[in-house]
Amino acid sequence: MDELLWLSEAQMRRIEPFFPRSHGVPRVDDRRVLSGMLFVIRNGLRWRDAPGGYGPHKTIYNRFIRWSRMGVFDRIFAELAKGGDGDQLMIDATHLKAHRTAASLLKKGLYPAALGAAAAA
């Protein structure tokens, strides 16, 4: 189970104050669910493709949406940015998607011909 967790206990303690308090029923382990979010986003997967070790995919998705709308991640990033020495800090969330046929165009030699034809027209 520990191999699935992306954050150490020390890292989790640093960001836990920004998570909303649970009302009534205790929540599923925040560290495990947050690791599931990171896994899905890092690997560009659908929520339902998250391994079961992170918990139900619906829980991971719902909590991501709820926390995003509540600004939880914005507050975490702002706090982590304050902790820097002021010299340089960069948080990047660049993500590109290409259609599955995009890679095969280069292999088949079709992309340069298509580009040349479009440029000539």
**Within its chain, how far is the Cα of 70 from the centroid?**
17
Residue-wise pLDDT tens digits, 27-57:
768 888 999 999 999 898 999 999 999 999 9
Q: Tell me what pLDDT residue 26 has.
A: 73
Q: What is the mean pLDDT of the chain?
A: 78
The answer to whether 39 and 24 are in contact (CB under 8 A) is no
- For tokens 């104050």, the residue is 17
Distance CA 27, CA 59 (A): 10
From its phi and psi, is residue 71 left (phi > 0), alpha (psi between -120 and 50) or beta? left
CA 74 to chain centre: 14
**The pTM is what?**
0.64
Residue 88 has a pLDDT of 65
Q: Where are the domains of the chain?
A: 2-88
